[in-house]
Amino acid sequence: MPTPEEFPVSRRGLITGGAVSVAAVSIAAPSTGVAAANKAVTQPPTARVAFNVNGTAHDLELDTRTTLLDALREHLRLTGTKKGCDHGQCGACTVIVDGRRINSCLSLAVMHDGDKITTIEGLGLPGNLHPMQQAFVVHDGYQCGYCTPGQICSAVAVLDEIKAGIPSHVTADLTDAPTVTRPELRERMSGNICRCGAYSNIVDAIVDAAGVKA
């Protein structure tokens, strides 16, 4: 039987031999499973989504995990809608879908097939501003401006809600809804956060756009 002296192995030799063995096994292993796994990672499930954004029809092939916010910003390049908290807590990403305001960061794009979507770009443009946009300018309803697109989209929807008699926490039933009051507006706009604190000016702008004294 061979003695240890007949097979002298240094520590370096042992480590080097082990590395060579691992490399040989890796090369010899079938690559089909690895290739399939890589393909699955690089090609996530997708779906076609067709919706109307600001009066223009769009047909997109999207990763099914894509939010409406990212579809608007990254795929349609409508960057007016802002990504704030990305958790539905600040309202910066508010858009109007079929007449109803939503936080686009909380909604998957594939959920809106066939919907009509309005972003801040669809309300008005320089030289032809929406009355709410003009009111925000007149009353200085913004400071840094980051939350402003969401504030304006939400404000436009709020006035439509009031006109339609949709109640809020302040108005307990439909019969109380049609009037515009400052406490009512503050409550309805409470989901839109302004870190600069321009809340009073924002309410002034909404009252002005509504064409009433409140």
pLDDT in the model for residue 177: 43
Report residue 4 as tokens: 């240890």
Pairing of strands 46-53, 116-118: parallel
pLDDT in the model for residue 211: 86
pLDDT in the model for residue 35: 65
CB contact at 8 A, 204 and 132: no
From-to residues of CATH 1.10.150.120 in the chain: 124-214
- Residue located via tokens 């608007």: 72
**Which helix (H) or strand (E) is 208 found in, with range?**
helix 199-210
- Going by the DSSP 8-state scheme, the letter that residue 75 receives in this structure is I
- Going by the DSSP 8-state scheme, the letter that residue 117 receives in this structure is E
pLDDT in the model for residue 20: 52
pTM: 0.76
From-to residues of CATH 3.10.20.30 in the chain: 45-123
pLDDT in the model for residue 25: 47
Angle at 88 between CA 79 and CA 207, to 5 degrees: 75
The CATH class of 124-214 is mainly alpha
Q: Return averaged pLDDT per consecutive 10 residues of the chain, 214 residues in all.
A: 56 56 51 62 88 97 97 97 96 97 98 98 93 96 95 97 80 54 94 96 96 74
Strand partners, 131: none
CB contact at 8 A, 72 and 81: yes
- Going by the DSSP 8-state scheme, the letter that residue 146 receives in this structure is S
CB contact at 8 A, 93 and 103: yes
CA distances from 40 to 33, 43, 46, 70, 108 (A): 11, 5, 12, 22, 21
- 45-123 folds as Ubiquitin-like (UB roll) (3.10.20)
Angle at 102 between CA 80 and CA 187, to 5 degrees: 105
- Going by the DSSP 8-state scheme, the letter that residue 174 receives in this structure is G
- 75: exposed, middle or buried (Cβ count in 10 Å: 0-12, 13-18, 19+): middle
**Which helix (H) or strand (E) is 96 found in, with range?**
strand 94-97
